[in-house]
């Protein structure tokens, strides 16, 4: 379905019982709402109503130009707007990668809208920013951002049948799922728009502080994830005042929703109180 938020139209998959507790599922880069395809049905079977949007830049009807249009408060505002449009006062919020960044932002800056938080891969941004300043491992892991923010990165990632973009997934994501993501990003203007999440500077700009999170929170990390260092992940606990759990998946890469959907589903259900 398409959900209007201001001037934009977002493509959103809504499924599960109408009276089920709502779960907002926020994808990362370079994926789409389809990263939840193995998880949403299991949450639905547990009686939960899932709301999985293609976020700003990914939805054809919500693809503004310019990096300034992808600042974190705007991305968070989209999520709030989708909940408003669907008549949802508050939801369990789950996010992976950039979706986790938005999820942490919602829990910190719009706490009344977040029942529980389950973040995959990326810790609270204050922990991430601290690690960027103090942890050489995190600085090394984050070097890719310097490439993504360049204008040349769009063409480079799509060259040779998107060979460079394809390598980001590694063997963790099924080939048919990779092709789905690549088909989206090969459309005119899409990759520029999704890279604008990086070009906005939100991951590197710590000039505005992010509040602690009071919602019951689970952070799902994995030992094969190259996005966040162990220091950054462990530092997240300093920025959660509510009940908190850190889960580390062994033998799993960055793409937890696709590679370990059963375990991710179990942790979501445990956090929302359905296990």
Domains of the chain in sequence order:
2-272 (3.40.50.1820)
Q: What is the pLDDT of residues 43-82, one digit of tens each?
A: 999 999 999 999 999 999 999 999 999 999 999 999 999 9
CA 16 – CA 47 distance, rounded (Å): 7
Print burial letters for 46-67: b (CB count within 10 Å at least 16), e (below 16): bebbbbbbbbbbbbbebbeeeb
pTM higher than 0.95, yes or no?
yes
Averaged pLDDT of the chain: 96
CA 25 – CA 180 distance, rounded (Å): 18
- Residues 164 and 157 sit within 8 Å (Cβ to Cβ): yes
Q: What is the pLDDT of residues 223-246, one digit of tens each?
A: 999 999 999 999 999 999 999 999
Q: Which helix (H) or strand (E) holds 108?
A: helix 98-109
Rounded to 5 degrees, φ, ψ at 53 are: -90, 150
- Taking 80 as the threshold, does the pLDDT of residue 275 lie above it? no
Q: What pLDDT shows up at residue 274?
A: 72
- Taking 70 as the threshold, does the pLDDT of residue 206 lie above it? no
- Taking 90 as the threshold, does the pLDDT of residue 198 lie above it? yes
CA 67 – CA 178 distance, rounded (Å): 26
Quote the percentage of the chain above a pLDDT of 70.
99
Q: What pLDDT shows up at residue 52?
A: 98
Q: What is the pLDDT of residues 68-120, one digit of tens each?
A: 999 999 999 999 999 999 999 999 999 999 999 999 999 999 999 999 999 99
The closest of 121, 143, 148 to 255, measured between CA atoms, is 121
The closest of 46, 85, 39 to 62, measured between CA atoms, is 85
Rg (CA), the chain: 17
Work out the pLDDT band at 176, boundaries 50, 70, 90: very high
Q: Beta strands 49-53 and 8-15: pairing type?
A: antiparallel
């Amino acid at each position: 379905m398409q959900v209007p938020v201001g001037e934009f139209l977002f493509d959103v998959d809504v499924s599960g019982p109408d009276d089920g507790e709502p779960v907002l599922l926020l994808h990362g880069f370079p994926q789409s709402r389809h990263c939840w395809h193995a998880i949403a049905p299991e949450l639905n079977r547990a009686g939960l109503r899932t709301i999985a949007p293609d976020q700003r830049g990914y939805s054809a009807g919500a693809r503004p130009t310019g990096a300034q249009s992808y600042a974190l408060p705007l991305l968070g505002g989209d999520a709030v707007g989708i909940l408003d449009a669907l008549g949802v006062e508050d939801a369990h919020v789950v996010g992976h990668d950039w979706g986790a960044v938005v999820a942490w932002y919602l829990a910190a800056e719009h706490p009344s809208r977040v029942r529980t938080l389950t973040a995959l891969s990326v810790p609270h941004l204050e922990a991430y920013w601290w690690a960027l300043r103090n942890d050489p491992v995190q600085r090394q892991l984050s070097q890719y951002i310097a490439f993504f923010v360049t204008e040349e990165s769009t063409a480079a990632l799509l060259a040779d049948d998107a060979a460079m973009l394809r390598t980001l997934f590694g063997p963790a994501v099924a080939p048919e799922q990779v092709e789905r993501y690549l088909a989206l990003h090969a459309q005119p203007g899409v990759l520029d728009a999704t890279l604008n999440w990086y070009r906005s500077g939100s991951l590197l700009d710590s000039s505005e502080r992010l509040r602690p999170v009071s919602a019951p929170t689970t952070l799902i990390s994995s030992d094969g994830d190259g996005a966040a260092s162990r220091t950054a992940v462990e530092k997240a606990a300093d920025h959660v005042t509510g009940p908190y759990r850190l889960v580390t998946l062994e033998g799993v890469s960055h793409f937890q929703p696709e590679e370990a959907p059963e375990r991710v589903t179990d942790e979501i259900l445990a956090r929302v109180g359905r296990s």
